[in-house]
Structure formats: structure tokens, C-alpha cells
Structure 1
Amino acid sequence: AIVVVLDLVIVARGGDHGLSTGIVNPSAIVSGSLGIGLLFAIISYVGFEATAIFRDEARTPERTIPRATYVALILIGVFYAVTSWALISGWGDEAAVAHATDNGATFLGDTAARYIGVIGADIITVLYFTSLFACILAFHNVSARYLFALSQRDILPVSLSQPH
């Protein structure tokens, strides 16, 4: 939610040099490193596969799981595209590249401090670190669910398919 607030503030203020048009400029879209772009795209979608892992909790998984997966993919894609556009607009096209190159680890926090103040940047930092903890916890949960699902389908020992 705090990133959506940041996006809205940047768009409402019009960015540093107006809103970026790079999102609709074909030469800007295909410029840069293809490898880094693909890496960012792949990492942005980590976690959407949880819809399939937790299918046993759905009443009608044949209908619910595909819907949830498509909705998750669309929402994630739109969220990251809009946020990337807003962050670039917040600094201006050239300055965004320079600032992200020099301060990549603090780019989001620096932008938040600039547009929503130090408190907004602190909230983003705290939520970032708590989300890292949540990712570690989710990794363990998903690993257990994979073992459970594989053992239910007789791929792993049956003793792993019995919840306790």
C-alpha cells in the first residue's frame, strides 16, 4: 500500500521533469540490457506459483486455481510496470538511470524520502526487511507443501503425506 501511495504522489506531482514517456517509446523499451530485464521480470513473479501449491484448500481447484494464477500474474505485472514508470518519472529519465546506477540499493527509499518524506521512507525500509523475513518463512512453508503434495501422489514416501 505504501508503494501505491508513493506512486500516486509522484503521478499527482508530475514527477521531476514531467511524467516519463519512456513506457510508450519503443526505442526506450528495447534499450538497455536484455539479461537484466529478463532477470527483473522473472524475479518479479516469484511466488505466484503458490496458487497451485495450496490447491487442496480450494473448494473447486479446477476453476479457482487458474483464475487465481491469471489474476496474480496480471496484478503483479501491472503493479511493477506502474511502479517502475512512477519511480522513473520521480527522478526524470536520465537522472533515474544515474541515481539507480549509483544508489541501486536505496533507490526506492530515496524516492520515498523525496516524495512522501522520511517517515514514508522508514515505513518502506521496515516493510522491506519484514518482507524478507516473510519470504524466508514462506520458503519453508512451500517446501513442506511440496513434500506433502509429492508424497500424496506416491512420488515420495507415504509417511510424508500424513499431516500432523
Structure 2
Amino acid sequence: MHSSERDRLLWLILLRWGTLGTVSGAVLGYLAAGPWAAVAGAVFACSSALVSWAWARRSVAGRLEEARTRGYGEGAADAVYGEMAAYNAAVFPLSGPDGVTDAERQARRRVAYRAASFDGLPHSVREAAAGALAVLDAGNDQKAAERALGLLATAMQRHRNGVTR
């Protein structure tokens, strides 16, 4: 949602709730103490609606920015994991050592390195990806590669849950 759309939506909410609050304040004020209390109730209700709108606008903008940033990092982490899994499949193919050509292995390595160096990647995920790349580049221990990919998945999950070291 763009800023102008969000502002328009918040203005419509303010208009609806502000009108309801102002009318309610005026009616309750009039019933309680007469016309001067009706004016005071309407002014109070309208001003409280404006203050609430200003607070909600700031709060919503902050939450949207956080969600946009967090989602971007999570998407990048998912992409890195997919590329690491593809590189792992090229290094340790299920069909045997001759199942993947050197050109394909190098292409998957190149893509995995590009994904791991992406700027939007969270630092903890980037470190785990670097460890996985080191193990996969060695290419001699499939169990270590599986552990490294497991550590990458754990780093991704910790980032997703908001846990830092």
C-alpha cells in the first residue's frame, strides 16, 4: 500500500469515527447539561479523534516499514537457502559423481555465491551461508555439508523469530 493510499484510508477512518464520536459527544453533552455541554462534548470528541488519528498514522507507518524490511530479508534468506540446496545437489549428486558436469557445478556455485553476497541478507544468515559455501567448496564431506545447510536453516529460523545470537 502506497503512502497516499494509506493516508486516504486513515482519513476515511478518521472521518467515520470522528463524525460518530462528535455526534455522540454532542448528544450526550446535550442530554447531560444542555447546549453548552453539547458543544464541549463535540469539541472534545473531535479533538480526541484527531489525536488518535495522528498516533495511528505514525504507528501504522512504522509497522509497515518494519514488515517491508523484515519480509525483504526473509525472502532473500529463502532464496539463499534454495541456491545452497541446488549447489549441494551439484556437489553431491544422487546419481553419482558423474551425474553433474563441471560447468553445471560451477554455474550453481556462482549463483550460490551471488545469492549469499546479497545486500538485503541478514548478517547471521550471511555468516551461515558463508560457512555452508566453504564446506561445499571443499566438496569432500557430505555430512558436513548437510550440517552446514542445517545451520543455515537454523539461522534463517532465528531471524524469522527475531532471535539474535
TM-score (norm 1): 0.31
Task: Identify the structure with the greater helix proportion.
Answer: 2
Q: Which has the larger radius of gyration?
A: 2
TM-score (norm 2): 0.31
